[in-house]
Chain A
C-alpha cells in the first residue's frame, strides 16, 4: 500500500546552459503511473530542444509497466530527433530496462483498417458465406441422418426405444403444464377479441366457429411448436453441445456408437410422436378457454357452445392441425441437434448456438406453417 503514497512524478527543468532536464521520482508502478502521463503527453508535444537529460535516480521502485512507459517516451523523443541521455539508473533498473526493451522492440505491423464504407458490404458478404456454409452443413447432416435411418429400418431392433420413451417423457409429458397455460390463454384471448367485434353484429354464436377453426387449425399447432422449440430444441442443442465439448461424441464414434443412432434419431422420433399429441391436447384446452369466456362474456352456455362446435367444426381442421405436428417436430429436433453438433471447443459457443437454434427453429416452424397454408388453400382443403 506504500506505493500509493509516493506516486510517480516528473518535472521539467531548464538548467543554466539552457539544457532541458527531466527529473523523475517516486514509485513507478503500474498503479501509480496515472498522474505522469498527461504531463508527459503535454510536454513532449511542444519540445523544441535537440537534446535532453533524463534523471531517473529519484525513482525508488519501478516495475515493467513503468519501464514500458519510459521506453515509449524515449522512442517518441527519438522520433522527434531529440538526443536523450538517461542518468542515474541503478544496475537493477538497467537490467529491467534491457529486458523490457528486448521484448518491446520491433512492434508488429498493425493490419490495415478497412474503409468504413466497405465494412457493411464485407459483413454482408461474410454473413452470406456463413449462411451458405451452414446450409450445406445442414444438408449433409440431414443426409447422414437419413442414411443411418435407412440402415436402422433394416434392423429395427437396433433402435433405441428406451431413449425414445425417455425423450417423449422429457419433451412431451413434462411440457404439459406450460402447454396448458399458454393454450388456455390463447383461447381466452381469441374469444375476447372476437367477442367485442361479434357483439356489434349480434352474432355472438359465431365466436364458436372462430375459436374452433382458428385454434385447431392454426393456433394450437403453432403455439405448441413454439413452446417446444424454446423448451426442447434449446435443450437438445445444449445437451449435445456439452457432449461435444467434453469429447463424449468422439468417444462414442471411437466405440462405434453412431451419434445419429444414439442421440439424434431418438430425439427426433420422440418429438415427432409427442408433438401431435400435444397439439391435440392444446386444441382441447384452447377451446375450453374460449368456451369459458364465451360463457362469462357472451352468455353462451356450455351446452350451446358444444352443440354449435359439433355442428360446424369439420374434423378435417383438427386433423390438419395435428398433421402439422410431425413436420414441425422434425424441424425443431433436427435444428436443435444440428446446432448442438456445431458447438466448438469453447463454452461460450454453447450459449450462442442454443440461441441460434431456437431462433432458427421458430423461424422454420412459421415458414413451414405458411407453406401449409398456401398449399392447403390451393388444394381447396
Chain B
C-alpha cells in the first residue's frame, strides 16, 4: 500500500511550549485514519500542519508525494484542490446560504456554467443527506448536525481524494454521530476517499477507523489497527481504552 501522507520527525513549538517532539506516522491510500489523544496533545495542531495552516519548526510532512515545507506557490495551490476539510465548528461562511457555501469553490475554480454548477451543488447536498430546502438556508438557521453535513458537502465540492475531519462527531447526539459515521463510510466507498480524522469519540474509533495513531507525551505512542494499538501497555492507552467508558465500549464491540 502506498502512503498518501507521510509525517516524519515533526517538531512543533509554540514559544517555549513544545507540542510535538518527533512525530512519525503515515496514512495509506483509501483508509480512514484516526488521530487520537487527550486535550492538548497536539492532534489538531498536527492536522493543521497537514493542511498547510501551520508550519512545524522542523521535520517533514509529505502529502500525495509533495513536501509541504518546500512547496512552490503553484504546487501549493494545486494541492489545496486535492483535499477537503471539515472544521470542528463547520466554519461555514455565515453570509452565504448552504448552496452558496457548497458551490463557492466550484464557482471560483471550475468555471462551469450556472445550471451545471447548480446540479453539482444539489447532488452534493443530497449526498450528505441534507433535505433540498436546506440549500437556501443560512448557517445560523441550521442545527448542529446539519452544519456538519453542510460543511462536509462543502469539503466534498471539488471531489477531493483526501478528506480531513476535525472532530466530526463532536457536539452531535449519539444517533446523529452514528449516522454521520455511517455517512463517512458510505462516502469513502462511493468516492474512493482517504480520510484523516481527529476524534475522541470511542464509537467512531470502533466502527469506522481503519488505523489510528495515539498522540501523547509529545510523540506518537502507538500506531496501527485498533487491535494492535490496544495491545500496547502504555499508560495513556490503558487509560483511554480500558477506562470506564472504554471498557463498556469494548464489551459492546465484541
* Chain A residues close to B by CB (< 8 Å): 1, 29-31, 33-34, 37, 41, 63-65, 68-69, 71-72, 96, 99-100, 103-104, 107-108, 344-349
Does B116 touch A at the CB level, under 8 Å? yes
Pairwise interchain contact B111-A104, C-beta atoms closer than 8 A:
no
Binds A, one of B119-127, B232-240, B243-251: B119-127
Q: Tell me, rounded to whole Å, the shortest Cβ–Cβ distance linking A42 to chain B.
A: 13
Chain B residues positioned under 8 Å from A345 (CB to CB) = 140
Pairwise interchain contact B122-A104, C-beta atoms closer than 8 A:
yes
Once A344-B140, A346-B94, A348-B95 are accepted as A-B contacts, the answer to whether A37 and B190 lie under 8 Å apart by CB is no
Q: Tell me, rounded to whole Å, the shortest Cβ–Cβ distance linking B155 to chain A.
A: 13
Chain A residues positioned under 8 Å from B139 (CB to CB) = 346
Q: Give the complex CA separation of A63 and B190 in angstroms.
A: 10
Interface-central residue, A41, A103, A107, A345, by most chain B CB under 10 Å? A103
Jot down 9 A-B pairs with beta carbons below 8 A, ordered by A. Answer: A30-B120, A37-B113, A65-B112, A65-B120, A65-B158, A69-B116, A72-B119, A345-B140, A347-B94
Pairwise interchain contact A68-B116, C-beta atoms closer than 8 A:
yes
Once A30-B158, A37-B116, A64-B159 are accepted as A-B contacts, the answer to whether A107 and B191 lie under 8 Å apart by CB is no
Chain A residues positioned under 8 Å from B158 (CB to CB) = 30-31, 65
Q: Give the complex CA separation of A346 and B95 in angstroms.
A: 9
Does B115 touch A at the CB level, under 8 Å? yes
Sorting the interface of chain B by its residue count into under 10, 10 to 19, 20 to 34 or 35 or more gives 20 to 34
Closest 7 CB pairs of A and B: A346-B140, A63-B159, A346-B94, A103-B126, A108-B132, A103-B123, A348-B94
Once A346-B94, A346-B140 are accepted as A-B contacts, the answer to whether A29 and B78 lie under 8 Å apart by CB is no
Once A64-B191, A72-B116, A96-B190 are accepted as A-B contacts, the answer to whether A30 and B110 lie under 8 Å apart by CB is yes
| B128: nearest chain-A partner, CB-CB | A103
Chain B 115-146 interface mask (CB, 8 Å, partner A; 1/0)? 11001101110110000100000111000000
Interface-central residue, B124, B132, B159, by most chain A CB under 10 Å? B159
Q: Give which listed residue, B115, B124, B138, contacts A72 with CB less than 8 A.
A: B115
Chain B residues positioned under 8 Å from A1 (CB to CB) = 75, 78
Q: Give the complex CA separation of A142 and B188 in angstroms.
A: 55
Q: Give the complex CA separation of A254 and B112 in angstroms.
A: 51
| B113: nearest chain-A partner, CB-CB | A37
Pairwise interchain contact A31-B110, C-beta atoms closer than 8 A:
yes
Once A64-B123, A65-B159, A103-B127 are accepted as A-B contacts, the answer to whether A34 and B140 lie under 8 Å apart by CB is no
| A29: nearest chain-B partner, CB-CB | B159
Does B14 touch A at the CB level, under 8 Å? no
8 Å CB interface, B12-31 against A: none
Q: Give which listed residue, A31, A64, A348, contacts B120 with CB less than 8 A.
A: A64
Q: Give the complex CA separation of A103 and B153 in angstroms.
A: 13
Chain B residues positioned under 8 Å from A31 (CB to CB) = 81, 109-110, 158
Pairwise interchain contact B123-A107, C-beta atoms closer than 8 A:
no
Does B106 touch A at the CB level, under 8 Å? yes
| A65: nearest chain-B partner, CB-CB | B120
| A345: nearest chain-B partner, CB-CB | B140
| A104: nearest chain-B partner, CB-CB | B123
Known contacts A31-B110, A37-B112, A68-B120; can you find 8 more A-B pairs with CB under 8 A? A34-B112, A37-B116, A41-B113, A63-B159, A64-B127, A65-B159, A68-B123, A71-B119
Chain A residues positioned under 8 Å from B123 (CB to CB) = 64, 68, 100, 103-104
| B111: nearest chain-A partner, CB-CB | A34
| B105: nearest chain-A partner, CB-CB | A30
Chain A residues positioned under 8 Å from B132 (CB to CB) = 108
| A66: nearest chain-B partner, CB-CB | B159
Chain B residues positioned under 8 Å from A64 (CB to CB) = 120, 123-124, 127, 159, 191
Q: Tell me, rounded to whole Å, the shortest Cβ–Cβ distance linking A30 to chain B.
A: 5
| A64: nearest chain-B partner, CB-CB | B159
Q: Give the complex CA separation of A31 and B116 in angstroms.
A: 13
Q: Give the complex CA separation of A121 and B174 in angstroms.
A: 48
| A106: nearest chain-B partner, CB-CB | B132
Q: Give the complex CA separation of A345 and B94 in angstroms.
A: 10
Pairwise interchain contact B138-A346, C-beta atoms closer than 8 A:
yes
Chain B 54-98 interface mask (CB, 8 Å, partner A; 1/0)? 000000000000000000000100100100000000000011000
Chain A residues positioned under 8 Å from B95 (CB to CB) = 348
Q: Tell me, rounded to whole Å, the shortest Cβ–Cβ distance linking B224 to chain A.
A: 30
Chain B residues positioned under 8 Å from A37 (CB to CB) = 112-113, 116
Q: Give the complex CA separation of A349 and B126 in angstroms.
A: 28
Q: Give which listed residue, A30, A69, A96, A100, contacts B106 with CB less than 8 A.
A: A30
Pairwise interchain contact B190-A99, C-beta atoms closer than 8 A:
yes
Q: Tell me, rounded to whole Å, the shortest Cβ–Cβ distance linking B36 to chain A.
A: 29
Q: Give the complex CA separation of A34 and B117 in angstroms.
A: 12
Q: Give the complex CA separation of A65 and B102 in angstroms.
A: 13
Pairwise interchain contact B159-A34, C-beta atoms closer than 8 A:
no
Pairwise interchain contact A33-B190, C-beta atoms closer than 8 A:
no
| A92: nearest chain-B partner, CB-CB | B192
